[in-house]
Structure 1
Amino acid sequence: MRLLMEGFCRKQPQSMMIPTPCFTVGLVVQGSNGEYPYLTEEERVEVVKRVRRSMPANKLLIAGSGCESTRATLELTAKMSAAGADAVLVVTPCFYKGKMDSQALLQHFNKVADDSAVPVILYSVPANTGLELPLDAVVRLSEHPNIVGLKDSGGDITRMGLMIHKTKGQDFQVLAGSAGFLMAAYCVGAVGGVCALANVLGVPLCDLERLCMSGHWDQARELQRRLIEPNAAVTRRLGVPALKQAMDWFGFHGGVCRSPLRPLEPEQMQQLRQDFASNGWL
């Protein structure tokens, strides 16, 4: 599986195999940067329907369907599949995070995968949920025939490398959840990434994937360094409002955020521009 925008990357299960050169193979819709928590269920499904109609048939469409309860996740997963999603991205439930131990999460994800008509991709994003999917749970879930991978946005490369080692032999893909550590993820065996920054700098991210996969590490390192500050700006530091603003600068339509998210203040806008300009992107 190769680079997907939110944004997904490289080795694919046979059921999802697409012969393609190095470029984005699909889209993640209704992920963190799609303001998924702020949309109604009807809006979430309608977005997926419209994207599916607009995409070439040979492009993968991954739709977020994770909810706080298992029942709600099952219902939304079925609707996303019916709307045209090729796979679903299921985030960890987190409201009662003190009770979300390995056993609770195993029960949740196994039930979703048992009932889903399309492959399931686990989604661990501790910066948003305050909960990291436990390593032992990931290893056990990798054995499920309908759980094909994990988007790991935590950024702990040691943990990612161990996870890849522990799931070796399973048809299970580990994907970097951020462009800021994409090269490091490739180094420890990740097969690609789902990257917010791909909405703005999709071509450079695909170039980074190509350089890593072809062993051109010096060039890859230089490119990775130039991506770190812009990526941090549109993710952890300034978030979705910054990503939308950057999309506008690069000729896309970022649009306004949904309340309670607010647009950038002038000084934040200036810093965001500096983060892109000082690294040669603007």
Structure 2
Amino acid sequence: MTAPLFKGVITALITPLRDGNVDEAALERLVERQIAAGVHGVVAVGTTGEGGGLTIEEHERVTALCVRVAAGRIRVIAGAGSPATYESIHLAAHGKTCGADGALVVTPYYNRPSQAGLIAHFEGVADAVQIPQILYNVPGRTGVDLSNESVARLAKHPNIVGLKDATGDMGRASWMHSNVVSQGGQFDLISGDDHSFLGYAAHGGVGLISVTANVAPEAMVALYNAVAAGDFATARSWQDRLIGLHKALFLDASPAPAKYALAKLGLCTEEMRLPLVPTCEEAKPAIDAAMAAAGL
């Protein structure tokens, strides 16, 4: 098996907004905070970064700014998700041009393509742009599920190097490890689900693209480090401390709860881009309690 290209804690970074615009000063501070906490990378303008609500120009600016601030200290993965293949190609190409280390390409949402269409989409992006690409399967958001067999076929493409799996299905991780990773070549299994990462790692996962790491990056790094060291007793202790926060950050439409938590920490505003709105008042007490339990 080949050593992972993308591993560890990779933060699905929020995009801070102020008065209707990207708050670039806050974004720089957030990236520096992630680096200081020891994370291994960030995803710029993924789902948590409100990629569906930013203009193309804003999307490109945020990605380029993350690359500039990171300055090679951590990996930067450019969000390149779109229901249109040509737009995913454009975003992946921009990521390559500005110096990103990879691109995250989600299954096209809303239009629900067949498995043949999904394969054609991912191969189309991978053929067009010479940058390491991570498949992203999150059927709960997109309305379509990339099958195990489709992943196995796509893993043979030299530019497709991993999978972000947000299904929460541990059996799929084992299948991928047995039928894809163990067959050789470069293919990294990355969890896209904070609360089940511990189990996913036990089934062969090498990292996590994390929402919780926006709020508690040091704790998420400690959890990962315990897992990487095979110290599952310590990992479970960190998981016990964080599980409430994992859940609380999805009590309202993400990333509104994460932005609320970061605003409480004085790091950005709660502002969202429509159709998303700030966290509802009913969810805030539970988020406050989860932050306290996590030591924040």
Query: TM over 0.5, yes or no?
Result: yes
Q: What residue number does 1:242 align with?
A: 257
Which amino acid is 2:283 matched to? Q
Deviation by residue 1:32-69 (Cα, 9 ceiling, x = unmatched): 11010001111100111112221122321101112112
Gaps of 5+ in 2: 1-6, 14-36
8 A Cα contact 1:174 1:191, kept in partner: yes
The alignment of Structure 1 onto Structure 2 pairs a total of residues equal to: 265
Which amino acid is 1:6 matched to? A
Q: 1:270 aligns with which of 280, 285, 293?
A: 285
Distance 2:222 2:108 in 1: 34
Q: What residue number does 1:10 align with?
A: none
Deviation by residue 1:59-112 (Cα, 9 ceiling, x = unmatched): 211011121122222122212221222211001012221xx2221111111111
Question: Greater CA deviation, 79-88 or 233-242?
Answer: 233-242
Q: What residue number does 2:8 align with?
A: 2
Q: What residue number does 1:59 align with?
A: 74
Q: Within 5 Å, which residues of 2 pair with 1:26-45?
A: 26-45=41-60
8 A Cα contact 2:82 2:109, kept in partner: no
Q: What residue number does 2:104 align with?
A: 89
8 A Cα contact 1:2 1:23, kept in partner: no
8 A Cα contact 1:29 1:48, kept in partner: yes
Q: What residue number does 1:156 align with?
A: 169
Q: What residue number does 2:26 align with?
A: none
Q: What residue number does 1:229 align with?
A: 244
Q: Give how far 1:133 is off.
A: 1.3
Q: Give how far 1:28 is off.
A: 0.6
Distance 1:33 1:73 in 2: 17
Q: What residue number does 2:295 align with?
A: 281
Secondary structure of 2:52's counterpart equals: helix
Q: What residue number does 2:202 align with?
A: 187
Deviation by residue 1:134-170 (Cα, 9 ceiling, x = unmatched): 1110111111111010111111111122122211223
Which amino acid is 2:160 matched to? I
Q: Give how far 1:254 is off.
A: 4.7
Gaps of 5+ in 1: 8-21
Question: Greater CA deviation, 145-154 or 221-230?
Answer: 221-230
Q: What residue number does 1:14 align with?
A: none
C-alpha spacing 1:187/1:49, structure 2 compared with 1 (3 Å): same
RMSD between aligned residues: 1.7
Greater relative contact order: 1 or 2 (C-alpha under 8 angstroms, separation 6 or more)? 2
Q: What residue number does 2:23 align with?
A: none
Q: Is the counterpart of residue 50 in structure 1 residue 65 in structure 2?
A: yes
TM-score of the pair, normalised by structure 1:
0.88
8 A Cα contact 2:245 2:294, kept in partner: no
Q: Give how far 1:255 is off.
A: 3.7
8 A Cα contact 1:196 1:235, kept in partner: no
Which amino acid is 1:53 matched to? R
Q: Within 5 Å, which residues of 2 pair with 1:165-184?
A: 165-167=178-180, 168=182, 169-184=184-199
Distance 1:254 1:206 in 2: 25
Distance 1:128 1:202 in 2: 24
Q: Give how far 1:236 is off.
A: 6.0
Q: Give how far 1:265 is off.
A: 2.6
Q: Give how far 1:238 is off.
A: 4.7
Q: Is the counterpart of residue 206 in structure 1 residue 212 in structure 2?
A: no
8 A Cα contact 2:11 2:210, kept in partner: yes
